[in-house]
Amino acid sequence: MAFSMYSASVPALVRILSNLSAILDKAEAHCTARKIAPEALLQFRLYPDMFPLVRQVQIATDMSKGAVGRLAAAEIPSYEDTETTFAELRARLAKTIDYIKGFKPEQIEGSESRAITLKARNGEMHFQGDDYLMNFVLPNVHFHATTTYAILRHCGVELGKKDYTGI
């Protein structure tokens, strides 16, 4: 079977973001059951120089929508990064999932060699589509999803590997 840019991007990102939403459900239930202010978890960071949970989710969604939009050479929606609750984060995840699911395979296929340029703090980053997806986007989305998971586990939310992988 030939490598499919669509299969490697859209279903993979939808799965990660869907699992992340389910993890946030468990985190909110944890706060309710233990009478913990949700902000305590939402603003928690593993180390002072790391982003808090809210920002981890925002980056995972930005990275995901940006990836699919760039691979399809489509306009990428901009989000304001104003979420302060679990419900708002889940709404952001749902909006991102809907955007990603809106692409058809023919819009993504053939993007392996598409030139992708990102503006970064230290200048521009240049990729080909396959390298961008496999070696930049997917590792970054997993990093931010994993960090969200790690923050919640550290804060006592009962999560397991199956919550992260969905398997």
pLDDT (tens digit, 9 = 90+) per residue, 39-48? 999 999 999 9
For 54-93, the pLDDT digits (tens) are 999 999 999 999 999 999 999 999 999 999 999 999 999 9
pLDDT in tens, 103-115: 999 999 999 999 9
Report how far residue 161's alpha carbon sits from residue 4's, in angstroms, rounded to the nearest whole number.
Answer: 27
* pLDDT per position as a tens digit, 11-26: 999 999 999 999 999 9
Query: Is residue 36 a contact partner of residue 84, using CB atoms and an 8 Å limit?
Result: no
Residue 95: pLDDT above 90? Answer: yes
Which structural domains are found in the chain, ordered by start? Answer: 16-165 (1.20.120.450)
Average pLDDT on 126-139 reads 97
Res 2: pLDDT: 72
Helices 53-71 & 138-154, crossing angle to 10 degrees? 160
Residue 128: predicted pLDDT? 97
pTM above 0.85, yes or no: yes
Identify residue 85 by its one-letter amino acid code: T
Tokens matching residue 108: 């993504």
Averaged pLDDT of the chain: 97
Task: Give the model's confidence band at 1: pLDDT under 50 very low, under 70 low, under 90 confident, else very high.
Answer: low
Which band of pLDDT confidence, cut at 50, 70 and 90, is reported for residue 3? confident
Q: How many angstroms separate the CA atoms of 63 and 144, rounded?
A: 10
